[in-house]
Chains A and B, each alone.
Chain A
Amino acid sequence: MWITAGIIRRASSEEQVKMKEPKDIINRRRFLRGCIRGGFLAGLAGLTGGVTGRAKSQNTVWQIDPEICIACGNCATHCVLEESAVKCVHAYAMCGYCDLCTGYLMPEAKQLDTGAENELCPNGAIKRTFVEDPYYEYTIDESLCIGCGKCVKGCNAFGNGSLFLQVRHDRCLNCNECSIAAACPSGAFKRVDISEPYIPKKVGHA
């Protein structure tokens, strides 16, 4: 048992005088160390081989699957960034251009206009522009959007669902563990390949 041997082992008088070990001499300790090092290296190589066998050469980024997202509002508050990396995105092709837009207006809005008291968005990030009777275009000002998803919820509930949340990759830090993903109640966050970093909503009409 070499642990006990460690106690008994006393340096020989020769060793005490000459403290430096010559480099070309292989003693027991150095040999053992070399063997263990070789073992570690082999282990690391094996681990890497096993793990990278399936590894993608490409990196991955976080993204929200809009089909699973329930627009709970965690995106606005759980991102490590002060202003969340998640923003609302508008798929214009799906939009009904409604006058009474349930993603834009408060549920009991008195008037269908741009009055702040009628707007659902807490930050006034959605711009409503008249196109032609009776259609209105809704555009999201990303610099104002905080990713709370209130408009998404409204649009999903009674509209076409053309508003949805996405991680904007010019802002996202791509944390190893996404804080929002950890707090996501529906498991809508997933890692996607960097070559296709967004999951756009499919255009509904066939």
Chain B
Amino acid sequence: MKRIGLLIIPAVFFLFLSEPVSGVERFPPPDFESGYELPQTTYAPARRGVYEYIDVAVLLCALSLSSYLVLVKRDRRAIFVLTVFSLLYFGFWRKGCVCAIGATQNIVLAFFDNSYAVPFAVVLFFLLPLVFTLFFGRTFCAAVCPLGAIQDLVVLKPTAVPLWLESALRLLAYLYLGIAVLLAATGSAFIICRYDPFVSFFRLTGNLNILIAGGCLLVIGVFIGRPYCRFLCPYGVILRQLSRVSQWRVKITPDECINCRLCEDSCPFGAINKSTADWPRRDYNKSKTRLAILIILLPVLAVSGAFATAATSGWLSRAHPTVRLADRIYLEQSGNVKDTTDASLAFRGTGKPIDQLYAQAANIQDKTGFGSLVLGAFMGLLVGLKLIKHSVRRHRTDYEADRAGCLACGRCFQYCPREHVRLKKIKEAIQGNK
């Protein structure tokens, strides 16, 4: 009965072959004589799909409530409570995943890759905040997004960021979105998820570097309101554009602006546009020349942007595991490296032809190269458009929340004396001065 073969297995068997040899019947399962019964392998059931739809329902309710509180009720305290709820539910309870920001990548991947089926709940997570923003402004950012919520709670001593710096830093968000879309489209990686700075807090565990980065962002967030939302959030970039054309939007004053300037410094996110004085004639002429030059410069900026990113496309394409593997195999084949990696061993174990791997990698590199050209041109164009925007002056008679930048947090409401009149905390006395 004793299988002698077992004992003459070479003692050096730690030099394992890495080929996935599975289901090899080296030792036939025994016929037990003692009436031993095979135990059943147990598998813990997966979280039921219905919970995903509960999340979507909660998202829908939170968005509706947030829009109502911001636009109709104008109640900062209630918005704050909803913010805390969102942080607890979407953040700490649902562990921050899947979120609308990350869902962008799933949509992009599904758009470019026919074989990838995106779950319907993820589509809704991406879509609902966008639709709400088109109608009510960025009420998602206000009190629903858990990443916004965790930063909103630490805004203690906000300082103003100069307009030029704010505008320049915001380019980072566009670049982040661009790279994330490019890498998702080529199926390389989901970098928004990988470098999500706050998800480690929600899970109370995670990558140390990300944890440190998230901690730094929170510390910065004490002094500069919501740094991730304003300067990094890729989804925020999309929301900004949609919010520009929203049907309704946050108004600082419930009825009319009396230019009292009380709300001027109330926004920790620098999203209040001041009313403008009349424009001196000579400034006007100078700006006109500047504008003309900038418009002519636009194509130049776009082309130079494309050139700049074309240089990085090789580096970007290495985000795809197939490209990295092909690189490695090439190095091993050409004898430049002597050792092997887990990945190269696993690939050789499959016995797939190396030429096929090279072809796949080249295909991904081509796609990434083209994508990075488009991205570069887009970034160049964006810089030009931003410069143009800053040389165009708009006449404004009221203090207004910036359509794109307003995060709808409602902090400015209480600064407006008209709001106090509306709430009947003070009488119409101010009105009398007019």
- Closest B residue by C-beta to A175: B97
Complex Cα distance, B17 from A90, in Å, reads: 21
With a cutoff of 8 Å between Cβ atoms, the chain B residues found around residue A205 in the complex are: 25, 28-29
CB of A116 within 8 Å of the partner chain? no
CB of B224 within 8 Å of the partner chain? no
CB of A61 within 8 Å of the partner chain? yes
B105 touches A176 (CB 8 A): yes
Contact for B23 among A99, A108, A202, CB less than 8 A = A202
Complex Cα distance, B247 from A74, in Å, reads: 50
CB of A24 within 8 Å of the partner chain? no
Enumerate B327-359 residues with CB–CB distance to A below 8 Å. Answer: 341-343, 345-347, 349-350
Q: Given A134-B2, A157-B17, A201-B23, is A55 in contact with B47 using a C-beta cutoff of 8 Å? A: no
B17 touches A169 (CB 8 A): no
B397 touches A19 (CB 8 A): yes
A186 touches B346 (CB 8 A): yes
Secondary structure dominating the interface of A: loop
- Closest A residue by C-beta to B130: A44
Q: Given A16-B397, A54-B110, A91-B41, is A177 in contact with B193 using a C-beta cutoff of 8 Å? A: yes
- Closest B residue by C-beta to A73: B342
A81 touches B256 (CB 8 A): no
Complex Cα distance, B397 from A9, in Å, reads: 13
A98 touches B6 (CB 8 A): yes
- Closest A residue by C-beta to B113: A54
CB of B296 within 8 Å of the partner chain? no
Complex Cα distance, B38 from A139, in Å, reads: 11
Q: Given A40-B245, A92-B38, A197-B46, is A54 in contact with B117 using a C-beta cutoff of 8 Å? A: yes
**Could you give, for residues 172-192 of chain A, a 1 whenever the CB lies within 8 Å of some chain B CB and a 0 otherwise?**
011111010010011100000
Question: At the interface with chain A, which of B120-128, B139-147, B213-221?
Answer: B120-128
B16 touches A157 (CB 8 A): yes
A68 touches B20 (CB 8 A): yes
- Closest B residue by C-beta to A156: B21
Complex Cα distance, B205 from A171, in Å, reads: 13
- Closest B residue by C-beta to A90: B41
Question: How many residues of B are in contact with the other chain, CB < 8 A?
Answer: 100
Question: At the interface with chain A, which of B64-72, B156-164, B284-292, B363-371?
Answer: B284-292
B397 touches A15 (CB 8 A): yes
Q: Given A70-B18, A81-B203, A99-B6, is A161 in contact with B118 using a C-beta cutoff of 8 Å? A: no
Residue of A7, A11, A72 with most partner-chain B CB within 10 A = A7
Question: How many residues of A are in contact with the other chain, CB < 8 A?
Answer: 96
A158 touches B26 (CB 8 A): yes
B395 touches A55 (CB 8 A): no
A94 touches B23 (CB 8 A): yes
CB of B321 within 8 Å of the partner chain? yes
A143 to chain B, nearest CB (A): 12
Complex Cα distance, B2 from A99, in Å, reads: 9
Residue of B2, B7, B16, B97 with most partner-chain A CB within 10 A = B16
With a cutoff of 8 Å between Cβ atoms, the chain A residues found around residue B110 in the complex are: 51, 54-55
Complex Cα distance, B321 from A74, in Å, reads: 15
5 tightest CB-CB pairs across the interface, nearest first?
A96-B27, A186-B346, A170-B44, A185-B343, A177-B190
Please give 19 more A-B residue pairs, beta carbons under 8 A apart, in addition to A4-B291, A16-B397, A68-B20: A4-B288, A37-B246, A41-B134, A48-B127, A54-B114, A55-B117, A55-B123, A70-B345, A98-B3, A132-B32, A153-B16, A156-B16, A157-B16, A168-B44, A173-B203, A175-B97, A176-B122, A186-B20, A186-B347
- Give residues in A with beta carbon < 8 Å to B: 3-4, 6-7, 9-11, 15-16, 19-20, 33-34, 36-37, 40-41, 44, 47-48, 50-52, 54-61, 66-70, 72, 74, 80-82, 89-100, 102, 107-108, 131-135, 137, 139, 153-154, 156-161, 164, 166, 168-171, 173-177, 179, 182, 185-187, 194, 197-198, 200-205
A to B CB contacts below 8 Å, 24 in the list: A4-B291, A7-B288, A33-B244, A41-B134, A56-B120, A59-B52, A61-B46, A67-B20, A69-B20, A70-B342, A81-B205, A99-B2, A100-B7, A102-B13, A134-B1, A157-B17, A160-B25, A161-B22, A175-B193, A176-B102, A177-B105, A185-B343, A198-B43, A205-B25
